[in-house]
């Protein structure tokens, strides 16, 4: 093999893409001793290039293994990232569902609270109405008591009857007050009893009016009797 061919192969083996041959005219004719030294030198240089190529090849393999390990780590990290992302997305969905359920419960509780508030306002208005009615009845009772006191002076029997009616009326007021305190737990029953009490009060009021009418009639009879007595006494005096 010629010297130029050995140099070209060594040059190409070590990664060089182009080799420019040396013209033979540049070499002087040498003897056998000089040619042997040059061959040995070229062999040593080729061996050195081969060793460098081997080292470069090993470094390339190391880099290749490192690249594969990096790719494996990247793949593992990508899978872990996808797993974490999937878990996060699942957690977000669960939290969203939990928030939706909580929002629905809050809406239901708000609706229930609105109903309770409306019912409370209704009972408060009913209580105010009943309180006003009781106050009115108490005022009427006081007026009736005053009227009864005036009737007492003219008729003892009527006084006893009016006192009895007054006590009954006070009892009705007490019962109405008790019903008012229990209205939240038994509103329907209270309404029925209050209605019955109102009827009783109305009945007693009618009776009281009748007694007033009767008392007025008796007073008129008494005044007529007194007038007749006076006229009779005057007539006797004139005789």
Q: What does the pLDDT average to over 116-121?
A: 88
- CA distances to 28, 40, 85 from 49, in Å: 26, 14, 52
Residue 173 lies in a domain: yes
Q: Are the CB atoms for 176 and 194 separated by under 8 Å? A: yes
- Structural domains counted in the chain: 1
Residue 217 lies in a domain: yes
| Tokens read off for 112 | 């229930």
CA distance 175 to 194: 9
Residue-wise pLDDT for 164-184, tens only, equals 877 887 887 787 777 666 666
Residue-wise pLDDT for 72-90, tens only, equals 877 888 888 788 888 888 8
Residue 143 lies in a domain: yes
Question: To which residue do tokens 């309180």 refer?
Answer: 131
Residue 190 lies in a domain: yes
Residue 47 lies in a domain: no
Residue 109 lies in a domain: no
- pTM tops 0.75, yes or no: no
Residue 211 lies in a domain: yes
Residue-wise pLDDT for 20-50, tens only, equals 444 444 434 444 556 678 888 888 888 888 8
Given pLDDT bands bounded at 50, 70 and 90, which one contains residue 234? low
Q: Detail the DSSP E strand segments found in 59-192.
A: none
Neighbours of 148 (CB within 10 A): 22
Residue-wise pLDDT for 181-215, tens only, equals 666 666 666 667 778 878 888 888 888 888 888 88
Residue 205 lies in a domain: yes
CA distance 98 to 92: 10
CA distance 82 to 76: 10
User: Nearest 5°: phi and psi at 224?
Assistant: -65, -40
Which domain covers residue 196, as residue numbers?
126-238
């Amino acid at each position: 093999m010629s010297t130029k061919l050995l140099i070209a192969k060594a040059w190409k083996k070590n990664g060089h893409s182009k080799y420019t041959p040396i013209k033979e005219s540049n070499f002087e004719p040498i003897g056998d001793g000089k040619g042997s030294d040059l061959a040995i030198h070229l062999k040593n240089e080729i061996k050195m290039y081969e060793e460098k190529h081997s080292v470069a090849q090993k470094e390339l393999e190391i880099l290749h293994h490192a690249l594969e390990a990096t790719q494996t780590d990247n793949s593992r990290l990508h899978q872990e990232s996808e797993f974490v992302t999937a878990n996060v997305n699942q957690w977000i969905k669960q939290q969203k569902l939990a928030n939706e359920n909580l929002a629905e419960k809050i809406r239901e509780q708000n609706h229930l609270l609105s109903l309770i508030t409306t019912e409370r306002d209704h009972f408060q208005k009913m209580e105010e109405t009943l309180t006003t009615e009781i106050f009115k009845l108490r005022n009427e009772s006081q007026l009736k008591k005053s009227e009864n006191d005036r009737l007492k002076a003219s008729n003892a029997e009527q006084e006893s009857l009016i006192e009895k009616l007054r006590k009954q009326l006070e009892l009705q007021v007490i019962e109405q007050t008790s019903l008012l305190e229990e209205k939240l737990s038994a509103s329907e029953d209270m309404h029925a009893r209050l209605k019955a009490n109102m009827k009783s009060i109305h009945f007693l009021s009618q009776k009281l009016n009748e007694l007033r009418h009767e008392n007025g009639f008796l007073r008129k009879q008494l005044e007529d009797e007194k007038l007749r007595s006076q006229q009779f006494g005057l007539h006797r005096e004139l005789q």
